[in-house]
Amino acid sequence: MLPDELVIENILTRVPPAAVVRLRAVCRTWRSALTSDRFVCAHRDHSRAATGDSQPEIVFFAPAAAGNAAAFYACKLAPDGSGAARELVSVDNLPVLPGGELVMPTKPYHGLTLLCKAKSSVYYVFNLSTGEHVALPPCALADNHSPYGTDCVRSSTGLGFDPVAGEHKVVRLYQDLEKRPRCEVYSLGSGGRWRPCAGQVPEHATKGLEGRPPVFVDGCFYWHMHTGRFSCVEARMFRTPELILSLSAGTEQFGWVHTPEELAPTVCHIADLDGSLCAVVDHRLTADEYELWTWSGAGASSPPSWSRRCRISLASLGWPMRDELGLGIRMLPLCSSPEGKILLATSRHKVYAYDAGSNHVDRVFSMHEFVDVPSEPGLMLNIGLHEESVTGVRHCLAGGDGGLRMMMGRSGTVAKREGRPDRHPSGFNITPGAVRWMIGLAMDHYNRYMRNN
């Protein structure tokens, strides 16, 4: 009979993630070994070596075939768009409602994903590889008044990792019912309840929250202060020192990220691009332009600075990609491919690969080829990166499973549906050309009015 150490290191590191969860119940020794950081890292390394492929894998979610449910799928991206999808999990009572109430970040951390119901501040931590999940305990109520006419409460919650304490943390920045800025923390390792953040929340830091999760990079959470829709009076009243707020996961102290004056007014999103904080300048509808800027980070040897990673001029792209890349209210970077192309995901449920050297764009994924697509989400995307992992989520947690009914990969591999027409549920496409036409028409009417008056 083989010793446990050999079985664990040479055999169990090669079994599928979902099987690892079941094997933890064999005995206490195996449970301790299979939940250790050493085993998690060894299993991840074996999984990557087994695929022999460094192409990124994405996760996407859509309404399941049967009623009030959500299904999550993974798809290994291929340069020619030939990647196959597989069902990871389906949750029978986690509906994907119109408007994007279910919010998922574009990148997991150590294989863990925080899912949020943006209208009710209900949070779940998932490992989509193993099916393990937990509902976080109830949190303090947030102000549900939105300056943008949405139903989402004024809060933003993200998952990160504290390297000093060696534990995952969920951080929630929100405005309470008395309009005061608050921040609370839930430590996944120690469990318990939400507790106040150690640092003091800066004034007006919650006025621009829209429900989107923060970005977690290099041990810090980052929030973009969404003040673009404020009136002139509101912009002066709620002005903050900078437009990007940071919070250290270790010290729980707040800070600000300086952005140059010429860049700050144009930033509409922030993201994690290959481990760097990335500012997104999205002028596709008004100027046929899209830019990505990356920050060198506070830990750089020289003073931190911003540099332009890429600039896409839609007008220089060939048809139909010129119009297609302009569709969707949101386009965010996921990562770089092994070939050096930047992968861009849109709220229209597609992923594109942009080659800056040749100024060429290819579509490498379209959700409609696999499932019936949901409506365009209002806050984030239905697409993110997937990380195969056996990181556990249940130990030391006090929240429970929240009554979710989850099934692992019931349909297995999902074949492409060839010949299916590419139609979006809204049936309404606003292209950059249409926006320019409407602006021109409005200016023409305005000029005629001024001449006649």
- Where exactly are the structural domains of the chain? 4-36+39-43, 55-258+375-433
The confidence score (pLDDT) of residue 350 equals 95
* SS3 (DSSP) at 364: strand
432 has pLDDT over 60: no
H-type alpha helices, 209-354: 232-237, 284-287, 321-324
Q: Among 50-64, 73-87, 142-156, 322-336, name the one with the lowest average pLDDT.
A: 142-156
Question: How does residue 203 score in pLDDT terms, banded at 50, 70 and 90?
Answer: confident
- Name which residue leads in pLDDT, 297 or 183: 183
DSSP summary character for residue 432: H
For the stretch 418-430, pLDDT in tens is 766 566 665 555 5
380 has pLDDT over 80: yes
For the stretch 269-290, pLDDT in tens is 999 999 999 999 999 988 899 9
Mean per-residue pLDDT, 295-318: 87
The confidence score (pLDDT) of residue 148 equals 47
The confidence score (pLDDT) of residue 401 equals 58
7 has pLDDT over 90: no
- Name which residue leads in pLDDT, 37 or 434: 37
The answer to whether residues 245 and 159 touch, using CB atoms and an 8 Å cutoff, is: no
Question: How does residue 183 score in pLDDT terms, banded at 50, 70 and 90?
Answer: very high
Q: How far apart are CA 197 and CA 210, in angstroms?
A: 20
Question: How does residue 374 score in pLDDT terms, banded at 50, 70 and 90?
Answer: confident
Q: List, in order, residues 6 or more apart from 3 with CB less than 8 Å away.
A: none
Q: How far apart are CA 172 and CA 121, in angstroms?
A: 10
- Name which residue leads in pLDDT, 409 or 364: 364
For the stretch 49-68, pLDDT in tens is 766 667 899 999 988 765 56
Mean per-residue pLDDT, 72-83: 83
337 has pLDDT over 70: yes
What percentage of the chain has pLDDT greater than the value 70? Answer: 81
For the stretch 234-251, pLDDT in tens is 566 667 778 899 999 999
- Name which residue leads in pLDDT, 365 or 208: 365
Q: Among 87-91, 188-192, 356-360, name the one with the lowest average pLDDT.
A: 188-192
The confidence score (pLDDT) of residue 395 equals 46
The answer to whether residues 151 and 133 touch, using CB atoms and an 8 Å cutoff, is: no
- Provide the mean pLDDT of the chain: 83
Mean per-residue pLDDT, 410-417: 72
173 has pLDDT over 60: yes
8 has pLDDT over 50: yes
397 has pLDDT over 50: no
DSSP per-residue string spanning 49-115? HHHT----EEEEEEE-SSSS-EEEEEEE--TTS---EEEEEEETT----TT--EEB-SS-BTTBEEE
Q: Among 5-9, 46-50, 355-359, name the one with the lowest average pLDDT.
A: 46-50
- Name which residue leads in pLDDT, 302 or 173: 173
Q: Among 66-75, 102-111, 306-315, name the one with the lowest average pLDDT.
A: 66-75
Mean per-residue pLDDT, 341-358: 94
Q: What b/e readout covers 188-223, taking b as 16+ CB neighbours within 10 angstroms?
A: beeeeebeebeeebbebbbbbbbbbbbbbbbbbbbb
The answer to whether residues 134 and 393 touch, using CB atoms and an 8 Å cutoff, is: yes
The confidence score (pLDDT) of residue 453 equals 59
376 has pLDDT over 60: yes
The confidence score (pLDDT) of residue 450 equals 58
